Amino acid sequence: MPSPAPPATTSTAVVEEFLTALAHSDLDAATALVTEDIVWQNVSLPTLRGARAVAALRGLARPSVNFDVIVHNITSTGNVVQTERTDLIAVGPLSVEFWVCGTFEVRDGRIAVWRDYFSYRDSLRGLIVGLYRLARGRRGGRSTGYLGA
């Protein structure tokens, strides 16, 4: 993992910079914003830690995978940042959008904990809509929203 500390000055700025880096497929910038011992938890799925979490993030760098995000609300108290957002994940021509609430814990300018909560029902709805768009010859679209522009 890169050693230089990121330039962001607040916990909220660190999270915004991280999500923007992911949306722009800049995995080097994104991984520079996480600690070596990061804990990444999608609640109800297995928790990823450290190198395994970073490897999973790097999976977003595959040519057939795209990630984008629309942040609806973001707030922080000290080093804890909460987001309410829509994540957009495209694999090949299939694009899936779903609601996510995320909590990030920032330590020394880097994300130490990333915990996302999402609804399986909403994720399934996003998949069904994505499959419908694909069947109709429409791919959905990349966001022009808050961070993914």
Catalytically active residues, by annotation: 87, 116
User: Is residue 133 within 8 Å of 93, Cβ to Cβ?
Assistant: no
| Spatial CA neighbour of 86 closest among 75, 104, 101, 76 | 101
| 35 neighbors 49 (Cβ within 8 angstroms) | no
As a whole number of Å, the end-to-end CA separation of the chain is 27
Residue appearing with tokens 């609804």: 119
Dihedrals phi, psi of 33, to nearest 5 degrees:
-100, 10
